[in-house]
Amino acid sequence: MKAVHTELHRSHDPQFFLVRGLVKRTTEQPERVDRLLKGLRDGKHQLVEPTKFGQGPRARIHSPEYLSFLSEAWEAWTALGDSGPEMIGNIHPVRHAATYPTHIVGKLGWHTADTAAPIGPGTWAAACAATDVAVTAAQMVMDGEDATYALCRPPGHHAYRDMAGGFCFLNNSAIAAAHLRQKHERVVILDVDVHHGNGTQGIFYARPDVYTISIHADPVAYYPFVWGYAHEHGEGPGLGTNLNIPLAIGTGDDGYMQALDVARKAIESFAPSALVVALGLDASEHDPLKGLAVTTPGFRRIGQAIAKMGLPTVFVQEGGYLSDILGANLTSVLAGFEEAR
């Protein structure tokens, strides 16, 4: 399996992370990619540079106002003269009878769902590079590759059509799926991150052509708290094309595989012709954002189960934070996929 990667991700180096009222350094650090690259090298995966696709793929998913905001945000922020070293909103209007703001502080609040996506001088460039990585991997599958892996950073599955959040700015998995739709009538996004893919769900919630499935730690006690429940099935034309499978905190390999089997049956019923896997490795028992307890051999089983679905597959990197086992978990899931293919 070929892996798409670019060093341009390093221009995004956030520092701020608010956890239960405590300010810490974020766990979404550039070093994540170094550890994931080691996992790719250990698995002997060929690295491929992305093609630059420009704004088109991003515009299929994100609103013009949001893309304009992200591209101009840092310049407007620094022009204030008394702003901090990162852009973090101090208002969140939640859109109740609200007017779209013209001031950068208002726009920042409008376009961020939480405080976990600080914007710095290189955030826009890194986020755009990540979408090019995802689209390149999707295009390779459209051109005949059986499966590809996109090493995207920053991640994307918490980003809505017009909101950043949860370390995410542009929704790489959604953008990959929309690109695949140029060839495939029906596409599934299977999100195996420990956190619910709320942005992805929101983007496709009323669409019947992309089935969104998320297996994640129960949002009753885990981020994102207000999305990701089992009763959320889609709306309008998309009713029935969203499936959430929340798991009890601490669920291990066997419980996870049972949930994955439920997802497999739903995918078979939908009958897609392509699959995007939003690959969060933070379901690991060793991840610092502990929620689930999947072992390294468990990730191999996950890869094997995904392979047996028999679909052209694009793996898009989502979460998975700094632990000694991060690279090994990536090696394991991709090896399991290749073994079962």
Model confidence over 197-214: pLDDT tens digits? Answer: 999 999 999 999 999 999
Stretch among 29-33, 56-60, 94-98, 171-175 having the lowest mean pLDDT: 94-98
Q: Which two tokens stand for residue 246?
A: 């929340």
What is residue 159's predicted lDDT score, i.e. its pLDDT? 98
What is residue 9's predicted lDDT score, i.e. its pLDDT? 98
**219-255: b (≥16 Cβ within 10 Å) or e:** beebbbeebbeeebebeeebeebbbbbbbeeebebee
| pLDDT confidence tier of residue 59, bands split at 50, 70 and 90 | very high
> Taking 90 as the threshold, does the pLDDT of residue 94 lie above it?
no
Question: Is 0.95 topped by the overall pTM?
Answer: yes
Task: Give the mean model confidence (pLDDT) for residues 180-209.
Answer: 98
Residue ranges of E strands in the chain: 2-4, 16-19, 22-25, 47-48, 147-150, 187-191, 210-217, 242-247, 274-279, 313-317
Helices 326-340, 31-42: crossing angle, 10 deg rounding: 40
Model confidence over 211-262: pLDDT tens digits? Answer: 999 999 999 999 999 999 999 999 999 999 999 999 999 999 999 999 999 9
Check if 233 is active-site: no
What is the C-alpha to C-alpha distance for residues 321 and 282, in angstroms, rounded to an integer? 6
Domains of the chain: 2-340 (3.40.800.20)
Report the side by side order of strands in the sheet with 187-191.
47-48, 2-4, 147-150, 313-317, 274-279, 187-191, 210-217, 242-247
Model confidence over 263-302: pLDDT tens digits? Answer: 999 999 999 999 999 999 999 999 998 899 999 999 999 9
> Taking 80 as the threshold, does the pLDDT of residue 337 lie above it?
yes
Selected catalytic residue, list 158, 179, 184, 195: 158
Within 10 Å of residue 103's Cβ, how many Cβ atoms? 10
Strand pairing class (22-25; 16-19): antiparallel
Model confidence over 297-319: pLDDT tens digits? Answer: 999 999 999 999 999 999 999 99
What is residue 119's predicted lDDT score, i.e. its pLDDT? 98
What is residue 26's predicted lDDT score, i.e. its pLDDT? 92
What is residue 97's predicted lDDT score, i.e. its pLDDT? 77
What is residue 95's predicted lDDT score, i.e. its pLDDT? 79
> Taking 80 as the threshold, does the pLDDT of residue 41 lie above it?
yes
* Mean pLDDT (the chain, rounded): 97
> Taking 80 as the threshold, does the pLDDT of residue 168 lie above it?
yes
Strand pairing class (210-217; 313-317): unpaired
> Taking 80 as the threshold, does the pLDDT of residue 128 lie above it?
yes
What is residue 252's predicted lDDT score, i.e. its pLDDT? 98
> Taking 80 as the threshold, does the pLDDT of residue 164 lie above it?
yes
What is residue 93's predicted lDDT score, i.e. its pLDDT? 85
Read off φ and ψ for residue 17, nearest 5 degrees: -150, 120
